[in-house]
Amino acid sequence: MSKNEALLTCDGCPGQCCRHVATEIDEPVCKRDYDHIRWYLLHKNVFVFVDQNGDWFLEFATDCEQLDDAHCCTIYEKRPRICRQYGEQEHEVCEYLSEDAPYIYRFHSAEEFEAYLAQKGIDWRWKNRKLKQQ
């Protein structure tokens, strides 16, 4: 896709790809992992999602500081490589243009994640252990 084509496809977009940072995390498999995800979800503007490939991500809802009021990049010519790759090579996964949701699951709270675990029959709770008296 040429630069002009990329600009045209972004026309009218609210800058969804510029409003969060997501980093891949390991799929949770044990109580420690479940507890970490619950902890992430107890923070403001932090989400966890599973993409269409089954990969798990930790997402921080935060606007890029280079996004202007018209949802345009103010450093387009010198934007980071990841931005260039998203707009040029991964066009088919663009949240704005796609008809499908970019994720299978998206957890907004610890309670949502706990309900998901309960539905899957996963025991995520730690056992309370009394401290040994000396």
Is the distance from CB of 56 to CB of 122 less than 8 angstroms?
no
Is the distance from CB of 20 to CB of 62 less than 8 angstroms?
yes
What span, in angstroms and rounded, lies between the C-alpha atoms of 116 and 133? 37
pTM for the whole thing? 0.79
Q: Rounded to whole angstroms, what are the CA distances from 131 to 65, 72, 82, 94, 134?
A: 48, 56, 49, 51, 9
List the alpha helices (DSSP H) in the chain: 3-10, 31-41, 81-88, 110-119
Q: What is the pLDDT along the chain (134 residues), one digit of tens a residue?
A: 444 444 445 666 777 788 899 999 999 999 999 999 999 999 999 999 999 899 999 999 999 999 888 888 899 889 898 887 765 654 455 666 777 788 999 999 999 999 999 999 999 998 877 655 55
Which tokens is 77 given? 């010519």
DSSP 48-87: EEEETTS-EEEEEE---TTB-TTS-BTTGGG--HHHHHHH
